[in-house]
Every structure is written in structure tokens, then in C-alpha cells.
A and B are shown apart, each in its own frame.
Chain A
């Protein structure tokens, strides 16, 4: 009896509190198309959840990373929800910096693609919910390949790609054989170069955490990359990343492009691409091994462990990464623009499959990536195009700088790899992985 009264009182207080105090959720996110769309649709969430107001802090990827990392490491508590990637999630989850996510049954956790769910979990606990996911694949101009009399099939090799690039390379008419990332950054050129090194049989660190940048696979991969772009790439490649190449490809200047699967929806969209009807898709090219040839990435939403507004934050995350949200975007914006790469149900949706001809290739690429087993020799780290350890950002940036210098012809491949190895070795020593 007394218990009931207490509960009733508590409930009344709670309601009273909710009635005259809006909870404000501060969300840090990255400035790309899907996220901007989410901000526009936030009003639907606010209508469904009176008393919760959402405040957005939108930043460029690099700045977002700095802000979010310093905030979480210093327990700053500026953000209730953070947009983080597949790199941060396992590290921070392990450190206990993130709240475990426990969505309700309606959310249907089992609908998440296994690769995404595993990449965002630590010891079977989900720490971030995928908002959209991607792998990498080959996009190429079917018309040019046909003219050259080449059939690429679904699983091309890098040798085939190089031969085709040589055949369609025509700088006089402004068509370059192949465009690839060259702008320094662990998420820019290193994402691509790491997948290339993986497929040549390389790895970042061996079982004793020793960096392997001067090993034969890395030498082969880097030489191949520099030669390929020097001979059949556009000028100024060392400053190109995703957006720059997307503009080139859409203008019809690239014969081939290996990059994020998300690009497929842009290059096949007649509104922005001149070559929308001429594009074909294949899996990322392979060399020695198919392991780790295509990357795996997700932008995901997570709650820092110090948050005072966990229930509301959980509610928002459940909404933004739900099937219903995807359907909402499909309804309001068209099915070609929904966030992809997160749920099985998306790829079973007839409307989506009709609007997105790249869907099967994208799903195959995501399903074939395994962050826990992405290198030919066994590796101690998790991650396909990165190693999920705190030191990797610094190492990736240093190596990325060297690679772009090699690509720009400022240094030789061997010297660049030697400098990279030194930089990686210093970081790992400082962090105490070995003496």
C-alpha cells in the first residue's frame, strides 16, 4: 500500500518535471548528405516525443573527430549523442566511455547487417547504432570498357583493372583511366591504400604489434598504386579524396573509380551525373588474396557514458536508425536517397531495389567484409582499412602524408615507406606495445 503511494507520487513528480522542463539533446554530427537529411526530419521525432528538443552541432569530419574525442576523453559532457565511426566504437566501448545500447524489441536488432553489428559491438554488446554503412567497390564506365572490348565480370583483379585503365586512358579528350584517392589522411588515402595492401597480402602490424610497412606486400601495393595513378590517373591526384573524385567522375573524366559504395547512388543519379546511364559496378579488385580488399565503415550514433539523458538519447537513436526512419526518408525524398548499408530489410524492400541498381553489389561488398579477419597473415587488431587502436590515427596521418608525397613525386616509394615505418615504430614504442 505504502509502496504504491510512493510510486504514484514518484510518477506524479516525474510527470510534473517533464511537463515544465524540456529535455534538450545535443547531438554532434558530421556534415554529409544523410546527416543533413536527418536534421530536416528531426521535427517528426520532436512531434512524437513532446518535451524533447534536439540541438544539432554539425561539423566537418576532422573537426568532429577532434571535438568528440576531446569531449569524451576529458569527460566534458557537451554532447548527449555523438556521431562516431567504426574506428572509435570498439576502442571507446572497451574503455567504458560509451553506454551500452539496449533498444526495444520493435527496433529489431537482428535486422542489422551482421558485419555492421559486429563492427559496432564489443564482446557482443552494441555500443553504437549504425546510421548508414558502406564498403568499397569498383565503379566503371561500361561504355568505355565495351569500346575497349573488355569484360570485367563481378570479381575483377587489379591486373585486369590496370590493363583496362591503359586502354581507356585518353587525356587528350579529358578521360583518365582510373581515379583514386590521394589526399593525406587515415580516412582519406589510407583507407584505400590499406585495402590495396591487404589484398597484396599485407597487414599494419604483425602478431607482436610490430609495424609492417616495409614488408614486401606494402612495397608491391604502394609501387602499384603510384605507377597506376602516374600513368593512368588525373593530374593533381595527391589532393583528391572522395568529393573531388566524385565531381570528376560525374563530369565523365574518370574511366574507373574504386571507392565507397555510397558513391554508387550519386554516380547513377541522372540529376548530378553526366554518365548515370553508363556506369557499371563490380566488387573491389583483388590481387593475392580477397581478404580485406574492400573496406567496411559505418557512421553510427552513440551515447557517452556520462550522459544524464540516457532514456531520451536512446529514444532518439532508436528512431534515427530504425526501419521506420528509412521508410520515412523513402517517402519524403525518394528511395534512392535512403541511408543504406545498415539493415537487411532495406535490401528486401522492393521500392529500394527498383530505385537503386547498385544495391546487390553494395550488399555483397558489405557482407564479404570482416573486421575481425581482414588480413592474410593473422593480425592482432580489429578493422579492415584501419587498426582499431588509439595510436592508429597518428600513425595513419603520418603514413598518409608520406604516401601523398610519394604520389606527388616528392620522394621515392621506398623512402616514403621507410619514413612511414619509422613514424609507426615511434608511436608504438611510445605507447608501450613493445620495448
Chain B
């Protein structure tokens, strides 16, 4: 009885949140089970698992799943390693440190679409891009990035966008590093690498876990960068699951198949989350 009152008071908020989640999910599940193509409104009816079958048997499907995983893993690896390196660099005081830190954070506030366009035209264009000019300066064959290395180019863009986020978290985490312990280690004759391996990295463990978790959630659905640069191509070389769903929904106008795809993406995210929590959840207790 004494537990009832607080629960009753919380009920409206919980119910609202629950509805917030369950209504779109229920609609998606419903759409995924019917024939629902915007271009053929006269064709309706129960489709059973037809939409799921159609999505999973798409020739680009496996490629898209592999690309999604590769993109996730690469960007997380680059941002964690790079973030730690950069954070260590700006950890020690030096003149102008706050300004440098501010500049380091800047890319995170660039919109994904703008980021993609910057890279596409300013950096990666094979004729007038900065990278092409650099390659030419050294007398090398210019690289047509978006044609020859589409997925790598996307990874580069997204990593550039997310590096500041990781850096920021690691900088704050390093602030709370116990200086006296570090000094003691130095007195005991530990070299820099040993200190890094046995003191700094363990200290950063929890924030590394946080970075991986948050990036995982956001990078699952990378879309703007792909849409504005490669359009998923050439062929399907840079198509990820999110882009495949977009193709079904807005290029084929098939809401049924797109909903089935969306549910598959939810499944994929949950599988990934379970593994993650198993792997790094220990750090979060």
C-alpha cells in the first residue's frame, strides 16, 4: 500500500513514455505485415512475412550489413585511439591550450550534411580537391576517393566528425587522473609506455565504454554522409542498412518493405547492444 502512491504518481509519466515508444513501433510492425506501396494504393492486404523475405533477399542486403558493421567498428576504433592520443597531447598545460581545445571540438558542431559536402568537394574531388593537390605535389597518381574507396571515404568523414566527441570525454576523464600516483610511478622508474598501459588506460576504461556505447547508437544510422556523397555506390559499395531502408522507402515508395527493414535494424541494434553490455558492462558498475 505504501508503495502504491509513488507508483500511481509516476504512472502518467511512465505511460506517456511507453506510448511514445510503443505507438510508432506498433505501426511499424503493422506496416511491415501488409502490402503497402505508395505508388499502388489499390494493392492492399496481408503480406505475411513477404516484406521481410523481400528485404533480406535483396542482393545488396549482406553487403549492407557488412558495410554497417565495418563502418561502426572502424569509426569507433579510429575515434577511441585518436581521441585518447589527442587528449593526452593536450593534457599537459601549454600556452593557448584552451583555444586549441576549442578548435579540437569544432568539427562536432558541423552538421553531417555540411561535413559530407566539405569533404566531397573541398578535400576529395579528384580534380580540384585539396587531397588531389597534395598528391600531385608529391607527383603521385591522384585518388578518385569516392569512386575507388567509397566506404573508406565515408569512414574518414564520420570519424572526423566524431573524433572531437571522444576527445572531449577523454580530456575530462584525464582531469581526474591521480597526479601523485603518476609521480610515484615515475620515481619507481616506470617509463611512459608502462604508465600508459598500467595507469592511464585503466583509468580511462569507463569513459572508453561510454564513448563506444554512445557512438554505437548514433553510428548505426549514418545516412546523411552517404546520401550526399556516394549515394550508396558505386554499385552498393557504400550502402549501409539505413541507406538500404531509405532506398526502399523513398526511392521505391514501398512502406511495407521499408518497415520490415526498419524492424531488422532494430534487431541488429539490440544484438549489438547485448554484446556490448556483456563486453564492457563490467566497466560500468
Contacts and interface: CB of A to CB of B under 8 A. Distances in A.
Interface of A: 66, 69-70, 73-74, 91, 95, 184-185, 235-236, 238-239, 390-391, 393-394, 397, 401-402, 404-405, 408, 410-411, 419, 422-423, 426-427, 430-432
A239 B233 CA distance: 10
Contacts of A410: 234-235, 237
Contacts of B85: none
Interface stretch (B19-27, B36-44, B64-72, B171-179): B36-44
B247 A430 contact: no
Interface in B30-86: 37-41, 43, 54, 57-59
A408 B147 contact: yes
B235 A394 contact: no
B128 to A, nearest CB: 11
Chain A interface SS verdict (over half): helix
Given A390-B40, A393-B252, A430 B147 contact: no
Nearest to A239: B147
A238 B236 CA distance: 14
B107 interface: no
A401 B251 contact: no
Nearest to B148: A408
B234 A73 contact: no
6 contacts: A184-B233, A239-B147, A393-B251, A393-B252, A408-B148, A410-B237
B41 to A, nearest CB: 6
A402 B126 contact: no
B235 A73 contact: no
B38 A236 contact: no
Interface in B247-284: 247, 250-254
Given A394-B251, A397-B251, A408-B234, A69 B144 contact: no
A64 B160 CA distance: 31
A404 B234 contact: yes
The 8 nearest A-B residue pairs measured at CB:
A405-B235, A390-B39, A73-B38, A394-B252, A405-B234, A408-B234, A66-B250, A404-B234
B248 to A, nearest CB: 8
B54 A426 contact: yes
Contact of B231 (A74, A184, A235, A391): A184
Interface in B201-237: 231-237
B146 interface: yes
B162 to A, nearest CB: 26
Given A184-B231, A404-B233, A235 B144 contact: yes
Contacts of A422: 59
A127 to B, nearest CB: 16
A423 B61 CA distance: 12
A397 B37 CA distance: 17
A404 B147 CA distance: 10
B232 A423 contact: no
A404 B59 contact: no
Interface in B141-159: 144, 146-148
Given A73-B38, A238-B147, A397-B247, 16 more contacts: A66-B251, A70-B250, A73-B39, A73-B41, A91-B39, A184-B233, A235-B126, A390-B40, A390-B253, A393-B253, A394-B251, A401-B232, A401-B233, A401-B234, A401-B235, A431-B40
